[in-house]
Amino acid sequence: MNILILSHKPPYPIVDGSCHAMDRFLRDLLKTMPNVNIDYISITTQKHIFNAEKTPKDLVEIVNFDTVAISTKIDPFNALIQLIRNKSYHISRFKNEKILQKIKSVVNQKKIDFIFFESIFSGTYAEEIKKLSSATQVLRAHNVEHLIWRKLALNEKNPLKKWYLNHLSKTLEDFEKEFVEKMDCVFSIAPSDQVFFKTLNNASNYIPVSMEVSSVRKLKAKKISFLGAYNWMPNKEAILWFTNEVWPEIAKLNPTTEFHIAGSYSEEIEELKNKEGIKLHGFVTSSQDFMKEHGIFIAPILSGSGVKMKVLEAMSHGVPCVLSTHAAEGLSLPEIIPICKNKEAFIEKVSLLLQNEHLCHEIGVAGREYIFEKYNSESVSNKIKGLLLNK
């Protein structure tokens, strides 16, 4: 059996939640179909740089990885053209003849059985591929992409910027709906997003991201943390809101507490520098080690869609989490895990945990057990097998 996977960025190095999700899916596919031949074509950009040395050695021997370098830098002229055409500027940035030639090379050499699109941004080639191959086309949807921009627009104060964000959301929605309707199958990684995809495509299924669990360690006292890629707008929006609105109150009530922030581009956020009690780590090579070493994990996400990978990862390591309602969206979490509707709830819940290590431990254990039950690789593999191989 031959599979082609197209992604809008390299899965390795794992620099953010979507890379983590791509890595887990690749491993689940290999577990489901041990003898499969996989060609993996990814787009590398100035934002997501490919590094061959970071590709896991156990995968290099069994997966045919290939990348195409393009520029997706903001081009005002192209943005204007897409605005006039009323087409998605987001999608247009990933259209490139070099990528199409690479795809043609693969599908002309072998009979492809399944083609997986990792996010809609790689879907700009779906029409051309349909003419070249009879393979089953599957969208693996990380988010409902247009909702991210719609929610960012709702929170925007500048009228002109608000209008343009709404325009980006609408054109992205038009492409997303048309693309989803044409897919032979959709794998949604978030149950909340699955509701949307099911209205467009009856062959839409919720396939969670598998997670590996690790042992629960003793909490590092008087620390809270957040980890994410800050070139993803919802993460930047979240951390700025929390540091401006919530952190000063928590620091007053708990003056010895440290707030540790890590992730790609965190060191470039000027508003976070030189703030008392805040320690910036920049990109960290091991998200697992960072989470385990820096106390309570907070996820104050205000916008975006899809499952929040760093939340699942933190819980898989037994790290106690305090979540916004948006970060918890679509997750049927144990009642003990704190979910906050507003600033006051965050201040209350985080302060409570900073004073109660026993409760922290209980929350950490509950989160780990939840991940083990709902996101184990065996059950994910069985779902994929049932949908792709047992027809």
Residue 137 in tokens: 């086309």
Instruction: Select the more confidently predicted residue: 174 or 190.
Output: 174
For the segment 257-284, the average pLDDT, to the nearest whole number, is 88
Tens of pLDDT, residues 50-65: 888 889 999 998 999 9
> Which three-class secondary structure string do you get for the chain?
CEEEEEECCCCCCCCCHHHHHHHHHHHHHHHHCCCCEEEEEEEECCCCCCCHHHCCHHHHCCEEEEEEECCCCCCHHHHHHHHHHCCCHHHHCCCCHHHHHHHHHHHHHCCCCEEEEECHHHHHHHHHHHHHCCCEEEEEECCCHHHHHHHHHHCCCCHHHHHHHHHHHHHHHHHHHHHHHHCCEEEECCHHHHHHHHHHCCCEEECCCCCCCCCCCCCCCCEEEEECCCCCHHHHHHHHHHHHHHHHHHHHHCCCCEEEEECCCHHHCHHHCCCCCEEEEECCCCHHHHHHHCCEEEECCCCCCCCCHHHHHHHHCCCCEEEECCCCCCCCCCCCCCEECCHHHHHHHHHHHHCCHHHHHHHHHHHHHHHHHHCCHHHHHHHHHHHHCCC
* pLDDT computed for residue 14 by the predictor: 87
* pLDDT computed for residue 164 by the predictor: 92
Please provide the average confidence, as pLDDT, over all residues in the chain.
90
* pLDDT computed for residue 74 by the predictor: 85
| Residues contacting residue 220 through CB under 8 Å, at least 6 positions apart | 293, 294, 295
> pTM for the whole thing?
0.84
Domain 2-210+376-388 and domain 223-374, same fold? Reply is: yes
Is 391 a residue whose pLDDT tops 60?
A: no
* pLDDT computed for residue 36 by the predictor: 93
Superfamily the domain 223-374 falls into: Glycogen Phosphorylase B; (3.40.50.2000)
Instruction: Select the more confidently predicted residue: 129 or 265.
Output: 129
Superfamily the domain 2-210+376-388 falls into: Glycogen Phosphorylase B; (3.40.50.2000)
* pLDDT computed for residue 23 by the predictor: 95
Tens of pLDDT, residues 238-248: 999 999 999 99
Tens of pLDDT, residues 339-353: 999 999 999 999 999
> Residue ranges of the domains in the chain?
2-210+376-388, 223-374
* pLDDT computed for residue 305 by the predictor: 63
